Amino acid sequence: MVVLHRIAKRAVSMIPGGNAGSVLGIHVFHCPDAVGIVAKLSECIASRSGNIHSVDVFVPEKKQVFYSRSEFVFDPARWPRDVVDNDFNKISKLFSAEKSVVRVPDLDPKFKIAVLASKQEHCLVDLLYRWQEGRLPVDISCVISNHQRAPNTHVALFLERHGIPYHHLPTSAGNTREAEILELVEDTDFLVLARYMQVLSRRFLESYGKDIINIHHGLLPSFKGGNPSKQAFDAGVKLIGATSHFVTEELDAGPIIEQMVERVSHRDTLKSFVQKSENLEKQCLTQVIKSYCELRVLPYQVNKTVVF
């Protein structure tokens, strides 16, 4: 407990609304709907002298399902990190929760991710830049690509400077290199496909067993597959967009997490369509990674998400 208190004091100076040494906690909850869930969660935090900052609740109409996300501040010297987990686990068992997760960003390790990318670099470069600036709460364990990059390119130099391994695994119709990828990403928390233009098999998804986030350069479910910018341009759309979704076995059909749009007109060319689309992709992918790490994304039904 003494060691934990020292870590907390070193990591955090002051949380708005809390005392010196307070840290921010996040709790997400998904369980069958019942009377008294919010009361029990509030009682748990208050009984440990924690202070609730916000609570988001979603109960779908005519469905016995409850979702919540709470932010609270607490003193880890009075409420040790392991006891926080134990307290919320008791509530989880009480309400037969499907999901109950606590995260304390200033005490818990950052999410460890691997980034998969192909030839196009705009999403990869943007992620690396934001990571370098400390704007993404992740540690990048490696970058994997089916496209080779020369040692003197800006991406290769960046990765070398920051000690991030780069793995070139060229693929073919008969060899997708999935077994090798699985070995490289085994200890990651989730994967990010930053324009990785390969379809991952059911076997890969089942073997990895954790979430994989993809960015699609179009507004799903329209314009699936290849070259959606040209599809949209040829269709004469007035809005273009980008979609971030979880990866499933079916191409571009996983649960949608975030979508961003921008207006276009008859004055746009295919080139300006692509430029605007790429900007949206970068923004959309960054937002989803932040939302995921802040425990704002929960699965809902078969093919939907709740995003607080």
Per DSSP, what are the bridge partners of residue 111?
138
Contact between residue 131 and residue 194 where contact means Cβ atoms under 8 Å apart:
no
β-strands 99-103, 23-32: how paired? antiparallel
Contact between residue 151 and residue 127 where contact means Cβ atoms under 8 Å apart:
no
Distance CA 110, CA 17 (A): 24
Q: How far apart are the first and last CA of the chain?
A: 33
Element (H, E) at 74: strand 65-74
Axis crossing angle, helix 122-132 with helix 154-162, rounded to the nearest 10: 30
Cα separations (Å) of 93 from 18, 31, 50, 122?
29, 10, 21, 45
Backbone φ, ψ for residue 156 (5° rounding)? -60, -40
Catalogue the active-site residues. Answer: 252
SS3 297: strand
Place of tokens 């690509």: 145
SS3 110: coil
